[in-house]
Each structure stands twice: as structure tokens, then as C-alpha cells.
């Protein structure tokens, strides 16, 4: 196993762990953090492929993913605060009446 394979396996593992966290955990904030972990896995795969191909495109994409992550968290946390004000809990099973 060489370096590229190890790093790509790590990227896949991070993405899978983030996916399991989003499905399995109960706390809304922990689910958001698991989504960040999935974005980190994607970033690692992009950097690894850019390193392997000696190209700049991967770095540009990683930069755009950074911006999207910052925007996502800036929207998501006010929404979570709003839902917590309505339901008085972070437990996702209390939000089952959300529709649409």
C-alpha cells in the first residue's frame, strides 16, 4: 500500500464515519459536526488526487468547499437555535412533525 492508497482509504473512512454519525447520533449539533467530517473526507480525497496529478484544480475545489462549509454552518446554526427555541430540546426525535 503506498501513500495515495492510504490517504484515499482514510478519506473514504472519514466520509463513512460521518455518514454513520449523521444516521446514528441523536443530537442535532453532533449531526452537523458529522456533516463537517464528511466534507473533510471529500477535501482529503481532492487534495490527494491533486497531489497525484500535480494539478491546481483540486486546490481550487477545496477552497470552494471551505466557503460552502462556512456558509452552511452560518445558516445551519441559526436554524438549530430557532428549532431549539420552539421545541426546547436538541433531541432529533422531537422534530418528527417537521414537514416539507
Partner 1 sequence: MIETLLANLDTLLLYLFAACALVGAVLMLILPQPMRVALALISTMVFLGGVYGLLGVHFIAAFQVLVYVGAVMVFMVYAIMLLDVRDSAYKRTYSKLVMPGIAAGALFFAALAFGLWKALPDSAGSAATPAAGTFGLQQFAVAFLSEYWLHFELTSVLLVAAVVAALAVIKVSAASGAQSPLGTRAERKGGSDRG
Interface positions, 10-49, toward partner 1 (CB under 8 A): 10, 12-21, 23-30, 32-34, 36-37, 40, 43-44, 47-48
Cβ of residue 49: shortest distance to partner 1, in angstroms? 10
Name residues contacting partner 1, limited to 68-97 (CB under 8 A): 68-71, 73-75, 77-82, 84-86, 89-93
CB count within 10 Å of CB 62 equals: 17
Chosen residue from 53, 96, 98, 100 binding partner 1 by CB under 8 A: 53
> Is 11:48 a contact under the CB 8 Å cutoff?
yes
- Give how far Cα 1 sits from Cα of 4, 8, 40, Å: 8, 11, 22
Secondary structure letter of residue 100 according to DSSP: -
Cβ of residue 98: shortest distance to partner 1, in angstroms? 14
Amino acid at each position: 500500500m503506498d501513500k495515495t492508497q492510504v490517504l484515499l482509504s482514510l478519506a473514504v473512512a472519514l466520509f463513512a464515519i460521518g455518514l454513520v454519525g449523521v444516521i446514528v447520533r441523536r443530537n442535532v449539533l453532533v449531526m452537523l459536526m458529522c456533516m463537517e467530517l464528511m466534507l473533510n473526507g471529500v477535501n482529503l480525497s481532492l487534495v490527494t488526487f491533486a497531489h497525484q496529478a500535480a494539478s491546481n484544480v483540486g486546490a481550487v475545489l477545496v477552497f470552494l468547499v471551505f466557503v460552502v462549509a462556512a456558509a452552511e454552518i452560518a445558516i445551519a446554526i441559526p436554524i438549530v437555535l430557532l428549532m431549539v427555541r420552539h421545541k426546547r430540546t436538541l433531541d432529533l426525535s422531537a422534530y418528527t412533525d417537521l414537514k416539507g
